[in-house]
Structure formats: C-alpha cells, structure tokens
Amino acid sequence: MNKMSLLARFEEVAESLFTGLFKKNSKARLQPVELAKELVRVMLKNKQISISQVYVPNVYRVYLHSRDWGSFASFGDAFLVELSKYLYAEGTKNGFTFLSKPSIELHSDDTVKPREMFIEVDFDDSIEVTWGDEEEEEYNGQNDNFEEELTEFLNLDSSGRRINYILEVILGPDAGKTFPLEEDSYHIGRHSQCEIVVRDPEVSRRHLRVRREGKDWIIDDLGSTNGTFLNGQPITRERISLGDRIKMGQTVLILRHE
C-alpha cells in the first residue's frame, strides 16, 4: 500500500466519522487530513537511529485551539484509533520501529492559534494501545527481539556511542548557550554555585533541579518565586522528553541530544 492509498484510506474513514461536519466551512476548520499529515511529519523529524533499527516516537500529544479540539474530541476514541493506524502504517511502510502502537492524545490549548497545532512526542515502552479489532493479532507478532533492541536504543546512537544530552537556551538573556548533561544532577538558577547559572533576573537563585532517573530526566521546581513551566503548563515535578520546553522567568530551555 503506497503513501497516497494510505492517506486516501484515512480520508475516507475520517469523512465517514465526521459525516460532513468538516465539509462545512472547511477553510475555517482544521481538517483531519491536515492533522494526519502533520503527525507523519513530526514522526519523521523525531526518528532515532540505534545500531540495528530506526525508532520513531510512539506517543504524540497534540495541542489544538479549543475550537479545533472540540470538533475532533466530540468523536471520541474512534478518530484517535484511525490516526494511530494511519501513523503506524506509514511508519512500518518506511521500515521504522515503534515501541508500541502509536498513542495519540488531543489537548485543548488556546495558546495555540486556530487551525494550527503543537505536537509533543515521546518514546515510552510502558504505553499500551488497543485498536480492538483483528489487526491486534497481526501487530503482536512483529517485535520478538524488542527488549534487546530497546536497550540499545535507549543508550546508543547510530555509531554505538552513548547518547549525550544537552540543555539549549532558546529564549532569554542566555539564548544560544548549551549545557551538556554529563552528570546525573544539575541545579539551575542565578546563584554562582549552581551547576548551570543563568543571568535572567526573573529566575530564582536556586530555581530548579534537573536530574537523571534511569533512562529519564526529571525536573523539580525548588520553590521558585515565578514558577517553572513545561510546554506551557506549571509544574513542580515532571519527567521531560526530547524537545520539551522548560520555561523559568524569561528563559526557555529545550532538551536535545548531540
């Protein structure tokens, strides 16, 4: 099945689900096919190469303006299942490996403009997604060597070296700076004794801590005056993933790997 036929199948199913809703005022609404195409683009952008496999994210959190979100959310899980099937078919057609069938979440966020979307991704081997049909059996037999390959993926890049994580400042007085995460714990703030020092006057002296917990990175707000935000949401403690945006004061950092 080629790319056009996959997309055509998705459009046909989506149209049957929405029964003409999106044909009315189509220019004013985000279309199902636009969402599907953007998920594929984000999947390709975030692929990771291990020694023997090319992995793509299996978790997709889609943030939409409340108007667009309401149109999609009203149709419940059926639409999310079709998106998951479409994304899985596109990925496997290209030889990519998922840690599970794709999990797709829709969230309302009015910081996102109408007809636009913001998508967060994650690699999470604890996720279980059920399609609830005969396609389950076909899927379940495909990753017999999964656990060995997952161990390689979590710790190695395409050349067999351990992945090196960095925090990059993308907004604020220190924009452009990068901080390699070579140790297991870092304090971030204005105090000179913090492992990562920022010059932002709206950042507390000891604002937050970033620490490694197994294969994950965790951020803890340390009782800061102005708070810590992860992808626009206030947090006290949260796991962070590649591409996540951490905001404190005027400063925004993003987790990347070299």
List average pLDDT for each run of 10 residues in the chain, which is 258 residues long: 54 53 54 85 86 88 87 77 89 89 90 86 87 55 44 44 79 93 91 92 95 86 94 92 90 86
Largest CA distance in the chain: 61
**What is the DSSP track for 179-202?**
EE--SSEEEEESSTTSSEE---TT
pLDDT of residue 241: 83
Q: Find, among 15, 109, 129, the residue nearest to 62 by Cα.
A: 109
**pLDDT number for residue 34:** 84
pLDDT for position 139:
46
Are 239 and 220 within 8 A, CB to CB? no
pLDDT of residue 193: 84
In whole angstroms, give the CA distance from residue 86 to residue 34: 13
SS3 165: strand
Strands lying side by side in the sheet with 228-230: 178-180, 165-171, 251-257, 245-248, 228-230, 233-235
- Dist CA 209 CA 238 (whole Å): 11
Residue corresponding to tokens 């707000």: 221
